[in-house]
A and B are shown apart, each in its own frame.
Chain A
């Protein structure tokens, strides 16, 4: 195995000072290997988004060390090592779908001739080839999120960060998107950190589920998902899948009631 994509040691984050101080994360130890699909799960406010944003250098840690792709998080961001997808697609309304996917390529100075080809490849990957000339507001929520995924992958980052990307979608669309993201993950070999508060989603997608507990946010459990690598409709009916769902649920409950972790 090569060096880990993410390596956190004693990572902590405190927002604000004095009265308004919030300790969002404390003592986070986490290692994510190349090709991993890691889900962060936990109750709202336990610091999942904060951990993701620390990895992406969108906020800076208060304590501890964090290495992303073998570098300081800031250097990793400047090297455009990761792509990010938020809960809302955050597409630019005045750009066509294709131009939205080209946005990071423009900023990263990809050659003019290469940008459209790449964007179309990515749209193929998320099965939106026919919608290149549409505008975001002409697409459904699920399609918009697929465009956001295409955009995040367009520059072939080693790491994909996703913050509750399917949180706003209905159940049917959500399951289709999960299948989609697994296919993309399989085809690109990108490592994924995936924030969710859905237990079945975490189990279905991940190679490992990281369970977090609140006040302050800590990692209370890590559960290896030993399901066959190929996940499909049958997976959702696999007895082992149900066992793992129960395991994660119990870990979450322990995390919420228990004072300390292990």
Chain B
């Protein structure tokens, strides 16, 4: 499909452009601030702001003496974190969709539960995460699943809110039309409300995909889970003075993992829109 190829190419070019601009700003800042002797807001020295090429090169140096290169280790860590995030994303997405359907079916349940759903998001994830880990441990869940549940906690909310909005989006006359057919509530749901809600749901899924990666990274810390991005990011920030470029390199990979996940959802969205708005042959 030419359209899809062109879209990928355009995305690639824009990512490249962002990187180039970022590198120029970073190095420009260092140059000017060093020349002027400024120290605020951030000192421009190589310990605080390593050169972009040093960060880049750090990717290919061995993570440990004689070990595999940093990038391989961190990509493997990213894969593990992404897997936890993905499971959490699926759980959170399903819960969020279920809540949206429940709330649209019953105003009473919306009035009863919606305040708690909203309040749940004001409790910081770093307070929730240790509780989930403790409870997960008591319930003999594998550690990675506890991490996924923490990711799900960040995922379900946008999906629930947007699903509800989307299910309510059909025009009242469309609802009357369905009523005139004497259709059952589930026919109204699946033939009218859910298809109408898909654009809303996809928007939520993109937000949730990014949030689930953050949830997984944060969740790995109290879980004490090794091998994921969370533990590495913590470790590199503790070693910041010795090897600052490692933290930046790991942040780069964490960012790429999030982008990859959101990109996957965007691709699915385009497929769905394409399949449903296909021009007549």
Q: Do A and B bind each other?
A: yes
A135→B182 contact, CB < 8 A:
no
A107→B187 contact, CB < 8 A:
yes
A185 within 8 Å of B (CB atoms): no
A77→B180 contact, CB < 8 A:
yes
A90→B277 contact, CB < 8 A:
no
A58→B176 contact, CB < 8 A:
yes
B195→A92 contact, CB < 8 A:
yes
B238-281 to A contact mask, C-beta < 8 Å, 1/0? 00000000000000000000000000000000000000111111
- Nearest residue (CB) in B for A105 is B181
A135→B179 contact, CB < 8 A:
no
B280→A135 contact, CB < 8 A:
yes
Residues of B within 8 A of A93 (CB): 277
A164 to B182, CA, bound (A): 23
A80 to B180, CA, bound (A): 7
Scoring A58, A83, A131, A134 by chain B CB atoms within 10 A of each residue's CB, the highest score goes to A58
A77 to B181, CA, bound (A): 7
Residues of A within 8 A of B75 (CB): none
Smallest CB–CB gap between B8 and chain A, Å? Answer: 25
Chain B residues with CB under 8 Å of chain A are: 171, 173-174, 176-183, 187, 191-192, 195-196, 198, 276-281
A51 to B160, CA, bound (A): 38
5 extra A-B contacts, CB within 8 A, seeds A88-B171, A90-B177, A103-B191: A79-B182, A86-B177, A93-B277, A107-B182, A138-B280
A138 to B196, CA, bound (A): 18
A35 to B89, CA, bound (A): 58
Dominant secondary structure of chain B at its interface with chain A: helix
A84-110 to B contact mask, C-beta < 8 Å, 1/0? 101010101110100000011011100
Report which of A53, A84, A106, A108 forms a contact with B177, defined as CB distance below 8 A: A84
A187 to B178, CA, bound (A): 26
- Nearest residue (CB) in A for B277 is A135
Residues of B within 8 A of A58 (CB): 176, 179-180
A138→B279 contact, CB < 8 A:
yes
Closest 3 CB pairs of A and B: A133-B280, A94-B276, A107-B183
Number of A-B contacts (CB under 8 A): 59
Interface magnitude class on chain A: 20 to 34
Residues of B within 8 A of A90 (CB): 171, 173-174, 177
B277→A92 contact, CB < 8 A:
no
Residues of A within 8 A of B183 (CB): 107
Smallest CB–CB gap between B181 and chain A, Å? Answer: 5
Residues of B within 8 A of A83 (CB): 180
> Quick one: given A77-B182, A103-B191, are A94 and B176 in contact (CB under 8 Å)?
no
B182→A92 contact, CB < 8 A:
no
- Nearest residue (CB) in B for A94 is B276
B180→A84 contact, CB < 8 A:
yes
> Quick one: given A94-B195, A94-B277, are A80 and B174 in contact (CB under 8 Å)?
no
A78→B180 contact, CB < 8 A:
no
B187→A82 contact, CB < 8 A:
no
A108→B181 contact, CB < 8 A:
yes
Chain A residues with CB under 8 Å of chain B are: 53, 56, 58, 77-80, 82-84, 86, 88, 90, 92-94, 96, 103-104, 106-108, 131, 133-135, 137-138
Residues of B within 8 A of A53 (CB): 176
Report which of A82, A94, A131, A133 forms a contact with B180, defined as CB distance below 8 A: A82
A88 to B172, CA, bound (A): 11
- Nearest residue (CB) in B for A84 is B180
Report which of B180, B191, B278 forms a contact with A106, defined as CB distance below 8 A: B191
A211 to B277, CA, bound (A): 43
A88→B180 contact, CB < 8 A:
no
- Nearest residue (CB) in B for A78 is B182
A93 to B277, CA, bound (A): 8
Smallest CB–CB gap between B245 and chain A, Å? Answer: 49
Smallest CB–CB gap between A102 and chain B, Å? Answer: 11
Scoring B182, B183, B191, B278 by chain A CB atoms within 10 A of each residue's CB, the highest score goes to B182
- Nearest residue (CB) in B for A96 is B280
A78 to B179, CA, bound (A): 9
A53 to B179, CA, bound (A): 11
Residues of A within 8 A of B173 (CB): 86, 88, 90
B174→A107 contact, CB < 8 A:
no
Report which of A78, A106, A108, A134 forms a contact with B280, defined as CB distance below 8 A: A134
Scoring A83, A94, A104, A131 by chain B CB atoms within 10 A of each residue's CB, the highest score goes to A94
Smallest CB–CB gap between B99 and chain A, Å? Answer: 24
Smallest CB–CB gap between B19 and chain A, Å? Answer: 37
A125 to B275, CA, bound (A): 28
A152 to B276, CA, bound (A): 23
- Nearest residue (CB) in B for A161 is B180
- Nearest residue (CB) in B for A79 is B182
Smallest CB–CB gap between B161 and chain A, Å? Answer: 22
